[in-house]
Structure 1
């Protein structure tokens, strides 16, 4: 069955259209390093407080926020969204919902926020968080009754196939003919563009410092294809995904404020109207292709095509995965489409805090389209372990 999208509005001027009017994130830290002592609540609460501050009188009083929705994959349970809302001082009456769509959790949380607003809520704060550094150790039951630690939850039943994301990236590169050379070239591009954006101050307005940590930790200067070519395959002797052309395991949080269009007009704020969202399934053996049908669904629902899309943010879990998707879409991020596909770097350079990464895409689109008056239309998309894809199409308004 073809993927279908949730069309939030055919008309962004409709009073019930959900609109992102503020967007913030923490710096992204490499797991075990700069943010290693900060748990999911410690990462999220400052971001929620910053959003409330950005909104001024609307969210400056307790209990004005209708809902907090957060994506999280590997945290402690206990509904971190509710705990973070309380820690941020949003008020005792503000509920919290934590969702898990693995690497797409943060983007799914914002999709749910859009549905809440379209149904009548006035203000929802939504995003995602991951603290790989403080994630609890989980134990799997063995046939003999013992329990042993495991690295990840199951993505798919054995009879379908349950590859890890790294192994699946290698399989995708082989299936779609994405060479090691292209992967390394893309990884170099991600770091260079992230460093350039940081030096230009393009991240400054979106960042919320956590203690003394004020900048993203992972981007590296001095990388070139020759240096990356020396990295060994990370997931199998014949693979092409390496530590150099793959994302890092990371800590971080990102969130946005979603209001209805009538509230946006009353506040006289620019924003991103959420026009359509989609989630879809693909075969778990090649989960990296998940964004392809999801993106195609939101384009079809809105009547737009690639000529209309000025900015595309895709989670760079692996260079092979991103390049396989852009090949399917007929885009060339190493050539003609360099200025619209992850133009300021992505997860390969910045890191991949799983539950937060989808929300990070929307924060980046907000900075590009709203803060700097960029293109009218943008797309966010991410692939999900187990064979899923999530996509969101936004339009600059105001």
Structure 2
């Protein structure tokens, strides 16, 4: 078998992140993906004809864009020779699209692959599986894809009837994590995201989005989810989601990730091909790993995934300059940090915020994180970063990335 080729990541970009039902709600995931793909081509100067394929990630698809990567590519003006498909590894989908692209390039199957992730949780479908067999006496029951996916993700034998929130409370009990610690981490996340906004730290990675409305087109160029006005007092006043069934519950909307809309993309290729195409590499993929745990404690899965990725890269936590750990829940982050022996206030951890503050648009999150750390590393004069996230259903994905 021939030696695997080196892989670099070029031009990671993202749209602003919108709140569910917020400024980006009029646009579907496909439109967000088209926007970021067009910007990727325009900013990088890449000839779309040089792209072998587009891998699209989305957590809540419909049949309006089957084989999401292919349809997004066609709508964005790529030639019909550009192939594409879609994948879903829930919260890890965006990073998985990058990893899949890397494997194609490493093995020589492709030379240039674009990874794109998009989600419009504002437009996640309501669906039924009953209609084709006739309408039942009580009428058709519509499932909410957002809620249903969190209840069924563990399959038959690992039920999660209280969704992801229930699994977060399980970690809270097992690790003895207080509400105060969760709220403190959440506040830091918002403070860091707001500071990054105000300083212009996100500007290089952001792609403005045109949103049509009754009063004309509005240009959205700023993340909607970070809250400059939040405080420990405001967070402490929020009611735990499962308080009715668990009087000791601590997980609230304030110390959990958002439900959001966004898209992000990047180019994956070899250093040699990047040079020939005039692309400037931002990151090199050193290693990656995926791990599985009991779905009922899925939030702890980044621990084995990141540990394995670090081992494969022959480095340790002391060598890492930036830790991008997606904040699905504050309690989940704190549990992972406890196992790693990393302080919750470590400045390497999500220097510009994460899922609680920036938001968590499922299919786009992994690529959003990639775009952010690509500018964080040089700003902090760092070399190595770890990107990792827990994944509903008991998985986690992690990658070790090196500044080029």
Q: TM-score, normalised by structure 2?
A: 0.89
Match of 1:262 in 2: 272
| RMSD value, Cα | 2.0
Q: Secondary structure at the match of 1:234?
A: coil
Return the offset for 1:127.
Answer: 3.1
Return the offset for 1:279.
Answer: 1.2
Return the offset for 1:188.
Answer: 0.4
The answer to whether the Cα contact below 8 Å between 1:15 and 1:260 also exists between their aligned partners in 2 is no
Match of 1:6 in 2: none
Match of 1:28 in 2: 17
Return the offset for 1:119.
Answer: 1.5
Return the offset for 1:147.
Answer: 4.5
Return the offset for 1:52.
Answer: 1.5
CA gap 1:140/1:178 in 2 versus in 1, 3 angstroms: farther
Return the offset for 1:170.
Answer: 1.2
Return the offset for 1:310.
Answer: 0.3
Q: Distance in 1 between matches of 2:4 and 2:103?
A: 14
Q: Distance in 2 between matches of 1:127 and 1:286?
A: 29
Return the offset for 1:283.
Answer: 0.3
Return the offset for 1:45.
Answer: 0.9
The answer to whether the Cα contact below 8 Å between 2:57 and 2:68 also exists between their aligned partners in 1 is no
Match of 2:180 in 1: 181
The answer to whether the Cα contact below 8 Å between 2:160 and 2:166 also exists between their aligned partners in 1 is no
List runs of 5+ in structure 1 lacking aligned partners.
Answer: 1-13
Match of 2:213 in 1: none
CA gap 1:236/1:369 in 2 versus in 1, 3 angstroms: same
* 1:149 and 2:142 aligned: yes
Q: Distance in 2 between matches of 1:84 and 1:374?
A: 35
Please show how residues 358-373 of structure 1 align to structure 2 within 5 Å: 358-370=366-378, 372=379
Please show how residues 168-247 of structure 1 align to structure 2 within 5 Å: 168-211=167-210, 212-237=219-244, 238=247, 239-247=249-257
Please show how residues 335-354 of structure 1 align to structure 2 within 5 Å: 337=346, 339-354=347-362
Compare 263-272 and 47-56 and name the one that shifted more: 263-272
Q: Distance in 1 between matches of 2:43 and 2:5?
A: 21
The answer to whether the Cα contact below 8 Å between 1:284 and 1:387 also exists between their aligned partners in 2 is yes
State the number of aligned residues: 378
The answer to whether the Cα contact below 8 Å between 2:33 and 2:116 also exists between their aligned partners in 1 is no
Match of 1:252 in 2: 262
Match of 1:54 in 2: 43
Runs of 4+ with deviation above 4 angstroms: 144-147
Match of 2:216 in 1: none
Deviations 1:26-59 (A, max 9, x none): 1000111101110111101111112112321xx2
CA gap 1:260/1:27 in 2 versus in 1, 3 angstroms: same
Q: Secondary structure at the match of 1:353?
A: coil
Q: Secondary structure at the match of 1:189?
A: helix
Q: Distance in 2 between matches of 1:332 and 1:170?
A: 21
Q: Distance in 1 between matches of 2:268 and 2:257?
A: 28
Match of 1:87 in 2: 75
